[in-house]
Chain A
């Protein structure tokens, strides 16, 4: 079973919940798709087993064949190309590797090469297997790293996918083959707004879903109200507790404490029933 964990913005506790779910499953696979800020490894402290480079295509130009027609420059939606003084300039960080320019050049002046934009780390943390995607700073898109992270996933056991924050294409890539989506929300008006964004996304993808309210404060019911109105199941409410905050800030798994372990385990059982 594949569970994706989403939130409309960073800092809601998405990673905190993901790693603890993987821990509660005992032998799960935890995949950190938040490639611009992969924090799951801080909690899980995996032992590194393998690192793979993620490479994408990049055009190179043979100036002897280039006529200066600028067809490629005008075509590139991402403005990764410029033609100046009989020279084609290529800006790798802006290239989205669509390959269009290479196909379009009627002089055969463009060819495909490959370059690394990030890595995928494979590791083990106790019984949990981990995969962490890391996108190099300044790169235009993390989607190739996410694709790499999500290939060759075992069919057995629990897979927890820690998504990037927001509702971008990178999030869509992360949830598209998931069986279930957990939406993490904070109990404030902003929290409701952020929740509504990811809620729309999972509706669009027609995924079974439920909400976890993190840092819940007594009397603050805006998120509950929103869930009731839209008939979204609430999987659990994590109270705003000093102990959780402390363990969390020390990069420890709260699931290591019995009482929390059973809470996270209950959530897993609930989801299993639905999928």
Chain B
């Protein structure tokens, strides 16, 4: 199972980043072999739509699961369209969070931050 996790650094010991769209890196790790690759998040400096751009990169990495503290509506739309499950992160390193996921200790991320979808009025 391939898992994408926003992270502050480029190793499995790196701390999970609080942000999804603005994270420095994503670590995409195979939960069985613990082999991983690092995505340099180009969206971190995007003017707008960072969540969408980051989610596109995660989708393209072939991840099947995302573990994150927060996720905006737009990013969630992209991830869901790709059939990616979004789990709620806990504080710790990428490695620890992966272990917790394998032990079934993580919950699905419920609170998706409302984007501005269909609040338009006119």
A residues sitting closer than 8 Å to B (CB atoms) are 53, 73, 77-85, 87, 89, 91, 93-94, 116-119, 136-140
Interface of A is mostly: mixed
Contacting pair B122 A79 (CB below 8 A): no
With A82-B78, A85-B82, A87-B81 as known contacts, state yes or no: A94 contacts B121, CB within 8 Å. no
Quote the shortest CB–CB distance from A100 to chain B (angstroms).
Answer: 15
B residues sitting closer than 8 Å to A (CB atoms) are 43, 46-50, 52-53, 55-56, 59, 74, 77-78, 81-83, 115-117, 119-122
A94–B74 alpha-carbon span in the complex (Å): 10
| Chain A minimum-CB-distance residue to B116 | A138
Contacting pair B81 A79 (CB below 8 A): no
A172–B119 alpha-carbon span in the complex (Å): 27
Quote the shortest CB–CB distance from B8 to chain A (angstroms).
Answer: 22
Which residues of B lie under 8 Å from residue A84 when comparing CB positions? Answer: 56, 59, 78, 81-82
Q: Name 18 A/B residue pairs within 8 A (Cβ), A-sorted.
A: A77-B47, A78-B49, A82-B52, A84-B78, A84-B81, A89-B77, A91-B49, A91-B74, A91-B77, A94-B74, A117-B120, A118-B122, A136-B121, A137-B116, A137-B119, A138-B117, A138-B119, A140-B48
Which residues of B lie under 8 Å from residue A79 when comparing CB positions? Answer: 43, 46, 48-50, 52-53
A84–B59 alpha-carbon span in the complex (Å): 7
With A94-B49, A118-B122 as known contacts, state yes or no: A73 contacts B56, CB within 8 Å. yes
Which residues of A lie under 8 Å from residue B78 when comparing CB positions? Answer: 82, 84, 89
